Chain A
Amino acid sequence: MERNLMIAGFGGQGVMTMGKLLAEATSQATDLNVTFFPSYGAAMRGGTANCYVVISDDQIGAPVSYSLEDLVVMNGPSLHKFLPNLKSGGNLFVNSTIVTDPVDRDDINIIKAPVTQMSIDIGNPRALNVIMLGVYVGATNAVPPEVIEKGIAHKFAKKPKLIDPNVEAFRMGLEIGKAQAK
């Protein structure tokens, strides 16, 4: 079983970090194959950024796919640009604080979470990506939540003060994801 995920948004929203955290945690704590592939090239703060994560129990072919099981959009332009790449029956994760345009497809699951507002409300505005990762894992069970929590602990090993707030942010997202799981 192979799962193709694309995460897209503005530079600065932690799009790359979210993908890398998911992929690296999966690599460390499971036997699954996993790839992370970033967009690269001319980039600027406020410009667009995206990355692909593929998780599979078999060998992975291309680390990039234009027929996605899962798509995370953190901003409006990403929704319009990448929605056609989401498979019928796929999961669309929407940062509903920023993405307010209607989604004109009825063949997909839409999971909404106002992650930008939530991160501001908890006083940790940089954690919007970690909240969204929780939403993603909660709704899809792509990997067990413990895998990501271990990954957070590993990522912030040198800044241990940041572990608990990020785990809490992740769990907030997890609950939202579980509640909207199909």
Chain B
Amino acid sequence: MAERVFMKGTEAIAEAAVRAGCRFFAGYPITPQNEIPEYMARRLPEVGGTFVQGESEVASVNMLYGAASTGIRAMSSSSSCGISLYSEGVSYCASARIPMVYVNVQRGGPGIGAIQPAQQDYMQATKASGNGGFRMIVLAPDSVQECVDMVYEAYDLAERDQNPVLVLTDGVMGTMMEPVVLPPMKSDKELEECRAKFLPRAIIGHPLGQQATCRPGSVGDGQEQANIEAAAMYETWDKDIRVEEFMMDDAEIVFAAYGISARISRAVIRQLRKEGIKAGMIRPITISPFPYDSFRNLDFNRVKGIIDVEMSIPAQMRWDVDFAVQGRCPIHEVLRSGGQLLTNDQVLKGAREFIKEVL
């Protein structure tokens, strides 16, 4: 096994991107993701890449649009209120089918919110990261290791679909340090092969629909055709749904959580199991596409209730859980927000109150 190193989430994300072949980064400072641009500013020149600190989020996301249009692996990152400013650029990338990868290290909201961690961008990330009803694959890591693995893989997904991919993490995983095993550095040859699959990338000089793999944001009749093609592509994502079903074989109490809330729930479930309570968890790893079937197909004769754990008030992922469960069992919420952190004890306490009612 490769050597494990002890890294901060944000720095591990940046290094994973470089190893995946990222050679362009544009971003604008915002806590708690500043170490990503800081790391990239130092690291990218070492591998012949380019770092630009944009004059704003809008400028940065549009630089990413431009860089990714050429087929180069590029990245940007921001946090919550900064990500809101990305909306226009992300929507344009979705329209033009640009394989761009970006990271949201969530903080409290709404508005400028708090610089402390939160999970308050779920709806924005999974339902409407910009205008126009486009969709993206959204990956939700629950450890620094998964941050690394998902950023590394995001480029393959983005290039396969010619579509933006978002890695949605939060300020806890961004600022904490944990042991990680880093993936290998992709060689120039490998990157050239990836790039060659999608050439020619440049839009200029190609009539609409001819040759160019990315589209100039179609107009008129072309727009609907582009939307139909995009919708057909979204339909292929059933195979990409990823979900962790933790101790679910005999579970009567089912935790629903993603990201930081999921890792906390896992620790709580182990504690409850020691006390003889049959608890388990459905953890969406892709929050878009969402693993509806994991909830839909629960045995509701056995399952007594669902505990939705999120660092968001009001709850957001709960909408997707509700959509699948359709009122077939009670759903309880354990929530914090606005930069207040969930701990094992808080989730355990919230879970116990509910368990007393339903078991």
Contact = CB atoms under 8 A, between A and B. Distances in A.
Interface string A1-44: 00000000000000000001001100110000111111011000
Contact of A40 (B6, B32, B266, B267): B32
Interface stretch (A59-67, A104-112, A170-178): A59-67
Given A23-B6, A24-B6, A40 B341 contact: no
Nearest to A32: B179
B272 to A, nearest CB: 12
A27 B4 contact: yes
A77 to B, nearest CB: 20
A59 B266 contact: yes
A31 to B, nearest CB: 9
Nearest to B5: A27
A88 B130 CA distance: 50
Contact of A37 (B175, B266, B268): B175
A24 B177 CA distance: 9
A59 B263 contact: yes
B85 interface: no
A150 to B, nearest CB: 13
A102 B357 CA distance: 43
B176 interface: yes
Contacts of B6: 23-24, 27-28, 34, 36
A37 B260 CA distance: 13
A51 to B, nearest CB: 10
A107 B70 CA distance: 65
A67 B178 CA distance: 21
B179 A60 contact: no
A38 B116 CA distance: 11
B267 A36 contact: no
Interface residues of B, number: 26
Contacts of B267: 59-62
Nearest to B144: A35
Nearest to B267: A61
Interface string A42-75: 0000000000000000111111111100000000
Interface residues of A, number: 23
A20 B266 contact: no
Given A59-B266, A61-B263, A63-B172, A27 B344 contact: no
Contact of A34 (B31, B178, B265, B341): B178
B175 A40 contact: yes
B334 interface: no
B343 interface: yes
Nearest to A63: B176
Interface in A77-118: none
Contacts of A40: 31-32, 115, 175
Contacts of B343: 62, 64-67
Contacts of B342: 62
Contacts of B260: 62
A65 B115 contact: no
A62 B31 CA distance: 20
Most buried by B among A34, A35, A36, A66: A35
A60 B345 contact: no
Nearest to B268: A61
B332 interface: no
Contact of A67 (B172, B266, B268, B345): B345
B264 interface: yes
A66 B175 contact: no
Nearest to B263: A61
A35 B344 contact: no
Interface in B154-181: 172, 175-179
B270 interface: yes
A58 B345 contact: no
Given A33-B178, A61-B264, 19 more contacts: A27-B4, A34-B6, A34-B178, A34-B179, A35-B178, A36-B177, A37-B172, A40-B31, A40-B115, A60-B263, A62-B172, A62-B263, A62-B267, A62-B342, A62-B344, A64-B341, A64-B343, A65-B344, A65-B345
25 contacts: A23-B177, A24-B177, A27-B178, A28-B6, A33-B178, A34-B179, A35-B176, A35-B177, A35-B178, A36-B6, A36-B177, A37-B177, A40-B32, A59-B267, A61-B265, A61-B266, A61-B268, A62-B260, A62-B264, A62-B343, A63-B172, A64-B172, A64-B343, A65-B344, A67-B343
Interface of A: 20, 23-24, 27-28, 33-38, 40-41, 58-67
Interface of B: 4-6, 31-32, 115-116, 172, 175-179, 260, 263-268, 270, 341-345
Nearest 8 Cβ contacts at the A-B interface: A61-B267, A27-B6, A36-B177, A27-B179, A61-B264, A24-B6, A37-B176, A61-B344
